[in-house]
Amino acid sequence: MSDAWGALAERIAEHAENYIDGLTRLAGGEGGDAILPLLLVEVAQVSSAGAQLGASQDVILSGNWEPHLSEDPDVDVVRTTLAERLGPVDDYAEVFDPYKDTAVTPYRLSDDLTAVAADLIHGLRHYQAGRPLEALWWWQYSYFNTWGNHAGAAMRALQALVAHTRLDVAEERTMV
Protein backbone atom coordinates (compact mmCIF):
# COMPACT_ATOMS: atom_id res chain seq x y z
CA MET A 1 0.00 0.00 0.00
CA SER A 2 1.36 3.42 -0.92
CA ASP A 3 2.01 6.20 1.56
CA ALA A 4 -0.72 8.25 -0.12
CA TRP A 5 -3.31 5.51 0.49
CA GLY A 6 -2.12 5.20 4.09
CA ALA A 7 -2.45 8.95 4.67
CA LEU A 8 -5.93 8.98 3.11
CA ALA A 9 -7.02 6.02 5.23
CA GLU A 10 -5.81 7.81 8.36
CA ARG A 11 -7.72 11.00 7.45
CA ILE A 12 -10.92 9.12 6.65
CA ALA A 13 -10.65 7.08 9.85
CA GLU A 14 -10.32 10.29 11.87
CA HIS A 15 -13.38 11.79 10.15
CA ALA A 16 -15.32 8.55 10.73
CA GLU A 17 -14.44 8.41 14.41
CA ASN A 18 -15.33 12.08 14.89
CA TYR A 19 -18.68 11.63 13.14
CA ILE A 20 -19.63 8.55 15.15
CA ASP A 21 -18.58 10.19 18.41
CA GLY A 22 -20.45 13.41 17.61
CA LEU A 23 -23.59 11.60 16.46
CA THR A 24 -23.61 9.42 19.58
CA ARG A 25 -23.16 12.44 21.85
CA LEU A 26 -25.91 14.42 20.14
CA ALA A 27 -28.27 11.44 20.26
CA GLY A 28 -27.47 11.18 23.97
CA GLY A 29 -28.62 14.73 24.64
CA GLU A 30 -25.49 16.82 24.29
CA GLY A 31 -25.95 20.01 22.35
CA GLY A 32 -29.38 20.71 23.80
CA ASP A 33 -31.47 22.91 21.54
CA ALA A 34 -28.57 23.33 19.12
CA ILE A 35 -28.92 19.75 17.87
CA LEU A 36 -29.86 20.72 14.31
CA PRO A 37 -26.92 23.03 13.55
CA LEU A 38 -24.56 20.63 15.33
CA LEU A 39 -25.82 17.70 13.24
CA LEU A 40 -25.35 19.87 10.15
CA VAL A 41 -21.71 20.40 11.12
CA GLU A 42 -21.17 16.67 11.72
CA VAL A 43 -22.67 15.72 8.35
CA ALA A 44 -20.79 18.45 6.49
CA GLN A 45 -17.47 17.35 7.96
CA VAL A 46 -17.95 13.68 7.14
CA SER A 47 -19.18 14.65 3.68
CA SER A 48 -15.82 16.32 3.14
CA ALA A 49 -14.21 12.93 3.80
CA GLY A 50 -16.61 11.36 1.31
CA ALA A 51 -15.67 13.96 -1.30
CA GLN A 52 -12.01 12.99 -0.85
CA LEU A 53 -12.96 9.37 -1.49
CA GLY A 54 -14.98 10.38 -4.54
CA ALA A 55 -12.07 12.38 -5.94
CA SER A 56 -9.60 9.52 -5.43
CA GLN A 57 -8.90 6.83 -7.96
CA ASP A 58 -10.76 3.58 -7.39
CA VAL A 59 -9.45 1.47 -4.56
CA ILE A 60 -8.99 -2.07 -5.83
CA LEU A 61 -8.40 -4.92 -3.39
CA SER A 62 -6.01 -7.72 -4.20
CA GLY A 63 -8.10 -10.63 -5.36
CA ASN A 64 -11.06 -8.23 -5.49
CA TRP A 65 -12.59 -9.50 -2.25
CA GLU A 66 -13.24 -8.09 1.21
CA PRO A 67 -11.92 -10.02 4.21
CA HIS A 68 -14.68 -11.31 6.46
CA LEU A 69 -15.61 -9.37 9.57
CA SER A 70 -17.90 -10.48 12.35
CA GLU A 71 -21.26 -8.78 12.58
CA ASP A 72 -21.07 -4.99 12.87
CA PRO A 73 -22.32 -3.36 16.08
CA ASP A 74 -25.98 -2.39 16.11
CA VAL A 75 -26.63 1.35 15.79
CA ASP A 76 -30.37 1.07 16.46
CA VAL A 77 -30.14 2.65 19.93
CA VAL A 78 -28.55 5.74 18.39
CA ARG A 79 -31.20 5.79 15.64
CA THR A 80 -34.04 5.50 18.14
CA THR A 81 -32.72 8.20 20.47
CA LEU A 82 -32.08 10.52 17.52
CA ALA A 83 -35.63 9.95 16.27
CA GLU A 84 -36.95 10.86 19.71
CA ARG A 85 -34.81 14.00 19.89
CA LEU A 86 -35.73 15.11 16.39
CA GLY A 87 -39.43 14.44 16.88
CA PRO A 88 -41.57 16.03 14.17
CA VAL A 89 -38.61 17.14 12.02
CA ASP A 90 -37.28 13.59 11.67
CA ASP A 91 -39.43 12.90 8.58
CA TYR A 92 -38.74 14.74 5.32
CA ALA A 93 -38.99 14.27 1.55
CA GLU A 94 -36.10 13.92 -0.88
CA VAL A 95 -35.43 13.08 -4.51
CA PHE A 96 -33.23 9.98 -4.32
CA ASP A 97 -31.43 10.38 -7.65
CA PRO A 98 -32.14 13.56 -9.61
CA TYR A 99 -30.86 11.93 -12.81
CA LYS A 100 -32.59 8.55 -12.71
CA ASP A 101 -35.40 8.57 -10.16
CA THR A 102 -37.06 11.95 -9.80
CA ALA A 103 -39.91 10.73 -7.60
CA VAL A 104 -40.08 12.26 -4.15
CA THR A 105 -39.19 9.68 -1.49
CA PRO A 106 -39.92 9.83 2.25
CA TYR A 107 -36.79 9.85 4.39
CA ARG A 108 -35.96 10.07 8.09
CA LEU A 109 -32.98 12.01 9.38
CA SER A 110 -32.43 9.44 12.11
CA ASP A 111 -32.25 6.66 9.51
CA ASP A 112 -29.92 8.63 7.23
CA LEU A 113 -27.55 9.69 9.99
CA THR A 114 -27.21 6.19 11.39
CA ALA A 115 -26.88 4.61 7.93
CA VAL A 116 -23.82 6.82 7.45
CA ALA A 117 -22.52 5.75 10.86
CA ALA A 118 -23.05 2.05 10.13
CA ASP A 119 -21.03 2.21 6.90
CA LEU A 120 -18.27 4.20 8.58
CA ILE A 121 -18.12 1.74 11.48
CA HIS A 122 -17.70 -1.19 9.07
CA GLY A 123 -14.72 0.52 7.44
CA LEU A 124 -13.28 1.50 10.83
CA ARG A 125 -13.32 -2.14 11.87
CA HIS A 126 -11.07 -2.97 8.89
CA TYR A 127 -8.86 0.01 9.68
CA GLN A 128 -8.53 -0.93 13.36
CA ALA A 129 -7.72 -4.53 12.35
CA GLY A 130 -4.68 -3.21 10.46
CA ARG A 131 -6.26 -3.37 7.00
CA PRO A 132 -6.31 0.28 5.84
CA LEU A 133 -6.66 -0.60 2.15
CA GLU A 134 -9.75 -2.70 2.88
CA ALA A 135 -11.10 0.17 4.97
CA LEU A 136 -10.56 2.60 2.10
CA TRP A 137 -12.17 0.22 -0.35
CA TRP A 138 -15.23 -0.16 1.87
CA TRP A 139 -15.54 3.56 2.61
CA GLN A 140 -15.24 4.44 -1.08
CA TYR A 141 -17.61 1.72 -2.26
CA SER A 142 -20.22 2.48 0.39
CA TYR A 143 -19.84 6.24 -0.18
CA PHE A 144 -20.91 5.79 -3.80
CA ASN A 145 -23.47 3.09 -2.98
CA THR A 146 -25.15 4.28 0.24
CA TRP A 147 -23.68 6.67 2.77
CA GLY A 148 -22.87 9.49 0.34
CA ASN A 149 -26.52 9.71 -0.69
CA HIS A 150 -27.75 9.52 2.90
CA ALA A 151 -25.26 12.18 4.03
CA GLY A 152 -26.18 14.46 1.13
CA ALA A 153 -29.90 14.08 1.74
CA ALA A 154 -29.47 14.65 5.48
CA MET A 155 -27.31 17.71 4.86
CA ARG A 156 -29.93 19.26 2.58
CA ALA A 157 -32.68 18.57 5.13
CA LEU A 158 -30.61 19.87 8.05
CA GLN A 159 -29.58 22.99 6.14
CA ALA A 160 -33.25 23.67 5.34
CA LEU A 161 -34.23 23.21 9.00
CA VAL A 162 -31.47 25.50 10.24
CA ALA A 163 -32.36 28.07 7.59
CA HIS A 164 -36.04 27.96 8.60
CA THR A 165 -35.18 28.53 12.25
CA ARG A 166 -33.08 31.56 11.31
CA LEU A 167 -35.17 33.05 8.51
CA ASP A 168 -38.77 32.24 9.40
CA VAL A 169 -39.01 34.70 12.30
CA ALA A 170 -41.88 36.97 12.99
CA GLU A 171 -41.19 40.50 11.86
CA GLU A 172 -40.64 42.83 14.72
CA ARG A 173 -43.13 45.62 15.03
CA THR A 174 -41.59 49.02 15.10
CA MET A 175 -43.05 52.02 16.77
CA VAL A 176 -43.52 54.99 14.45
Return the domain boundaries, the chain. 3-167
Give the tens place of pLDDT for each residue, 53-71: 999 988 887 776 666 777 8
Neighbours of 14 (CB within 10 A): 11
pLDDT at 47: 97
CB 113 within 8 A of CB 39: yes
pLDDT at 173: 45
CB 20 within 8 A of CB 54: no
174 pLDDT band, cuts 50/70/90, is: very low
Q: Which amino acid is residue 161, in one-letter code?
A: L
Q: Helix or strand or coil: residue 108?
A: strand
Q: Helix or strand or coil: residue 87?
A: helix
CB 37 within 8 A of CB 162: yes
For 3-167, CATH number out of 3.40.50.980, 3.90.105.10, 1.20.120.1550, 3.40.50.2000 equals 1.20.120.1550
Give the tens place of pLDDT for each residue, 70-128: 787 889 999 999 999 999 999 999 887 778 878 888 999 999 999 999 999 999 999 99
Residue 130 pLDDT exceeds 90: yes
What is each CA distance from 79 to 57, 59, 63, 104, 108, in whole angstroms? Answer: 32, 30, 35, 23, 10
